[in-house]
Amino acid sequence: MKARHWTNSLPILCFFLVYWALASFFPLTGDDWYWGVRSGISNLNGRYAANLLATYLPQIDWLRPLFMAAVMTTLVWAAAKLGSQRFAPKFVLSAVMFLSLSIFIIRQAVVWTAGFSTYCVPTAILLCVVLLYQKSATASGKLKWLCWAACITLTLLLQLFVENLTLYCAAMIVIVLAVELFNRHKGKPWNALILPLAGIVLVGAVLMFSHDAYKSTDNNEAHDMPRADQILENIEGNYFDKIVPDGFAVNTLLNAAATILLVFALCKTMPSMKPKKRRFATVLSVLLPLVNIYFFVRKTNPQMPRPEIFRLTDGFLAAAFLLLCFVGAWLLPRGRHRIIMLFSIASIVMLAAPLLPTIPIIGDRCYFTFCAFLIVFCHAALGFLQENDWLKIKTSVVAPILICTLCGLFTMLFSAYITIDRAAEARQVSIQQQLAAGNTTITVRKLPLTNYVWAPDPNRKYSRGIFISFYNLPENITIKLVK
């Protein structure tokens, strides 16, 4: 038993240590330039928890990589745990999925400290809240009260990160409350924890939206930076970045995995379905791959001519993909894994809904939580197939492949961020030398591999002030950006 526990814990510990080392090379960029040279916080905008993390993490060099590693490890573990599949190296599989996300999402939601604080941290908390809620339903004694206390505390904290998560919690709590009260009415077991959680969500929502939510903090002027999809054609680095395109619609590899697992599950259950249901499942099994093929072709050919009508079509097809996944999961036999699959897709939809009015200007970081739930969906689909003995996986064969893949991903990221870190240090030395020489115009070299880091142009309206502040430059300095 002890040997098995050690075997399960070793990958988690190794991931934490390696990621800790990797995060130490993540540079400060964007808003981090502003907060990295200041002490304290001068303004809050309703995102209290995110504001505090984004303010203080850039100021504490040793804490930032340690905290990032702890949160990312928790996130990877929670996604694998929530999926509840018997696959032994599920933590390694979850880690591979997260590190295979679009580099545009990673650089904004994982590498950029402000984005990490606003999107990665609450996503990890959200998955932990779901796990604690599940555990509280079966726990007893002190463990039950511990689960209650942790779940209530984390739920309140979760409300204070970003607006769409706050609205998501409000919508989800109404749905879960209705289900629990229905179960109680029918005499079925129900979880009373939902009652204090409903009150906590209400309090959190009031705190969030009573203090200028959706408004920027004092350092954020009008944003004039280009979206990642506008600079995709100028991408640097290896071809891997091109086949893992930006944005939610669609993160190709992850969506392909979800599609393959769901279609496989539908095909296996079709013989036991009624004729009408079977025909419906057959149509779904054909449409899902077609939607993925369209996105793959378009996203891997960013310069491909695209009529205006297709800009609208992309949005409809992204919604269609989610609808098809939800209906496909609904057609599967009832069980824990089916519930998790439905919950994951419903969560993505509810998280996306508040963003619809601002779709033209949101960054790729907003898609991070969507991708996290899609990873949970994949774990649940894999667990469903294993539970019914429709998919037998030899751990002795698959585990080494996953470990090698994870090592390859880490190697690629280490190579990129070590290069960027060295260039950032050299740039700072160069700037100080030019200032010491009394130059009124300084030459600033662009960071290499710009697709791996969110590094806005210091001559843009938004970026100039925070760039000058970070490098302690005179206000009247002229900045010349060169490659």
Span 18-31, pLDDT tens digits: 999 999 999 887 77
Written as six digits, the tokens of 436 are 């010491």
Q: What is the pLDDT, as a whole number, of residue 303?
A: 59
Q: What is the pLDDT, as a whole number, of residue 410?
A: 94
Overall average pLDDT of the 134-141 stretch: 84
- Name the residue with higher pLDDT: 93 or 318: 93
pLDDT for 418-434, tens place per residue? Answer: 998 898 888 888 888 88
CB atoms within 10 A of CB 178: 11
Per the listing, tokens 């990295």 go with 36
Separation of alpha carbons 288 and 263, rounded Å: 8
pLDDT over 70 (residue 318): yes
Q: What is the pLDDT, as a whole number, of residue 464?
A: 74
**Using CB atoms within 10 A of its CB, is residue 40 exposed (0-12), middle (13-18) or buried (19+)?**
exposed
pLDDT for 166-200, tens place per residue? Answer: 888 888 888 888 888 888 887 878 888 888 888 88
SS (H, E, C) the chain: CHHHHHHHHHHHHHHHHHHHHHHCCCCCCCHHHHHCCCCCCCCCCCCHHHHHHHHHHHHCCCHHHHHHHHHHHHHHHHHHHHHCCCCCCHHHHHHHHHHCCCHHHHHHHHHCHHHHHHHHHHHHHHHHHHHHHHHHHHCCHHHHHHHHHHHHHHHHHHCCCCHHHHHHHHHHHHHHHHHHHHHHHCCCCCCCCHHHHHHHHHHHHHHHHCCCCCCCCCCCCCCCCCCHHHCHHHCCCCCHHHHCCCCCCCCHHHHHHHHHHHHHHHHHHHHHCCHHHHHHHHHHHHHHHHHHHHHHHHHCCCCCCCCHHHHHHHHHHHHHHHHHHHHHHHCCCCCHHHHHHHHHHHHHHHHHHHHHHHCCCCCHHHHHHHHHHHHHHHHHHHHHHHHCCCCCCCHHHHHHHHHHHHHHHHHHHHHHHHHHHHHHHHHHHHHHHHHHCCCCEEEEECCCCHHHCCCCCCCCHHHHHHHHHHCCCCCCCEEEEEC
Instruction: Write the single-letter amino acid at 37.
Output: V
Residue 2 confidence class, pLDDT cut points 50, 70, 90: low
Cis peptide before 71 (omega within 30 of 0): no
Strand 441-445 with 478-482, pairing: parallel
Instruction: Write the single-letter amino acid at 143.
Output: L
What lies within 8 Å, CB to CB, of 145 at 6+ separation is none
Q: Which of 456, 481, 451 is nearest to 234 (CA)?
A: 451
pLDDT over 50 (residue 452): yes
Separation of alpha carbons 467 and 196, rounded Å: 45
- Name the residue with higher pLDDT: 353 or 283: 283
Overall average pLDDT of the 437-453 stretch: 82
pTM (two decimals): 0.86
Q: What is the pLDDT, as a whole number, of residue 4?
A: 56
Q: Which of 117, 104, 131, 99 is nearest to 165 (CA)?
A: 117
Comparing 60-64, 141-145, 446-450, the range with the smallest average pLDDT is 446-450
428 CB-side CA count, 13 A: 13
Overall average pLDDT of the 263-288 stretch: 88
Share of the chain above pLDDT 90, in %: 22
Overall average pLDDT of the 244-258 stretch: 60
Written as six digits, the tokens of 414 are 């280490």
Q: What is the pLDDT, as a whole number, of residue 306?
A: 55
Instruction: Write the single-letter amino acid at 119.
Output: Y
In angstroms, what CA-CA distances link 450 with 26, 258, 261, 457, 475? 13, 30, 34, 11, 26
Q: Computed over its alpha carbons, how large is the radius of gyration of the chain? A: 23
Chain-wide mean pLDDT for the chain? 79
Q: Which of 435, 456, 407, 450 is nearest to 92 (CA)?
A: 407
